[in-house]
């Protein structure tokens, strides 16, 4: 295995080439460095993200506006490569794929949520041509065992943007963090998941005075409700539709 493909935190470009191949622009490097600083702040509550970033187990790509067609195709290519390498790599450490976008900036939470699901739907439309849904999770966003599948791998998606109500979700540029589900399964199997979850919730309370009301354990409620970070009520329905492979 090429260890660099998992461990080397190289940023992607907004140009026509793949984020894995093209050298970073000044803007890409700047946003990448801002993201690192954000995640490594002492009070940042997501310990998994901190572990991935501090350990170098992540990929970062900068794309155009969230939902833009050209950026979607490049993101799909880069995320598919990450998923494929994730399958063959040593996954003993946290790994994550970070997709940042140049805009739109400072939009309301509801608008960000709409764009996030539009982006994920467009990615899925591309992915479904070549890959079946990960059978370890459901493709129905209303089901408790739902998770996004891409490249045949399940991901938990975390959206960040400049006007997020949850402080840990705030980052100036719209960003989608794709966390492979297999690392959560490994943590559960080794008995470390509950301890880490408790630590994250303690840090959330210390930072904001409350636990994120959207948090839930996998298998008890659809994780789709957590992706955008906005608090939603019982009537909320996820605007995502799974397509058949092929």
In this prediction, residue 15 carries a pLDDT of: 35
Please report whether residue 78 resides in a domain. Answer: yes
Residue 64 backbone dihedrals phi, psi, to 5 degrees: -75, -150
Q: Which of 162, 169, 159 is nearest to 212 (CA)?
A: 169
Other residues' Cβ atoms within 10 Å of the Cβ of residue 238: 18
Please report whether residue 216 resides in a domain. Answer: yes
Crossing angle (nearest 10°) for helices 47-55 and 26-39: 130
Please report whether residue 116 resides in a domain. Answer: yes
Please report whether residue 157 resides in a domain. Answer: yes
Please report whether residue 246 resides in a domain. Answer: no
Please report whether residue 243 resides in a domain. Answer: no
Q: What is the pTM of this model?
A: 0.86
In this prediction, residue 14 carries a pLDDT of: 35
Q: Given the structure tokens 């402080």, which residue do they identify?
A: 167
Task: Quote the domain boundaries for residue 154.
Answer: 4-226
- Total structural domains within the chain: 1
Please report whether residue 234 resides in a domain. Answer: no
For 220-245, what is each residue's pLDDT tens digit?
A: 789 999 999 999 998 999 999 999 88
In contact, 176 and 99? CB cutoff 8 Å:
yes
Please report whether residue 231 resides in a domain. Answer: no
pLDDT truncated to tens, each residue of the chain (246 aa)?
222 222 334 443 333 334 444 577 889 999 999 999 999 998 888 887 888 888 888 899 999 999 999 899 999 999 999 998 876 555 556 689 999 999 999 999 999 999 999 999 999 999 999 999 999 999 999 999 999 999 999 999 999 999 999 999 999 999 999 999 888 777 677 776 667 777 777 788 877 788 777 666 666 789 999 999 999 998 999 999 999 886
In this prediction, residue 22 carries a pLDDT of: 59
In this prediction, residue 197 carries a pLDDT of: 75
């Amino acid at each position: 295995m090429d260890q660099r493909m998992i461990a080397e935190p190289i940023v992607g470009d907004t140009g026509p080439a793949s984020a894995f191949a093209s050298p970073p622009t000044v803007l890409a490097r700047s946003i990448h460095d801002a993201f690192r600083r954000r995640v490594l702040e002492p009070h940042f509550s997501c310990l998994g993200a901190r572990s991935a970033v501090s350990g170098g187990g992540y990929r970062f790509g900068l794309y155009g506006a969230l939902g833009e067609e050209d950026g979607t195709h490049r993101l799909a290519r880069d995320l598919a490569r990450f998923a494929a390498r994730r399958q063959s790599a040593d996954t003993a450490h946290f790994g994550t794929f970070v997709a940042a976008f140049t805009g739109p900036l400072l939009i309301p939470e509801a608008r960000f949520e709409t764009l996030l699901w539009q982006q994920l739907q467009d990615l899925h439309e591309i992915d479904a041509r070549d890959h079946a849904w990960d059978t370890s999770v459901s493709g129905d966003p209303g089901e408790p065992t739902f998770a996004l599948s891409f490249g045949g791998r399940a991901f938990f998606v975390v959206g960040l943007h400049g006007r997020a109500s949850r402080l840990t979700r705030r980052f100036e540029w719209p960003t989608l963090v794709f966390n492979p589900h297999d690392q959560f399964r490994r943590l559960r199997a080794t008995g470390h998941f509950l301890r880490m979850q408790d630590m994250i919730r303690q840090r959330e309370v210390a930072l904001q005075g409350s636990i994120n009301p959207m948090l839930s354990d996998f298998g008890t409620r659809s994780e789709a409700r957590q992706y955008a970070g906005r608090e939603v009520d019982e009537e909320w329905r996820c605007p995502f539709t799974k397509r058949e492979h092929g």
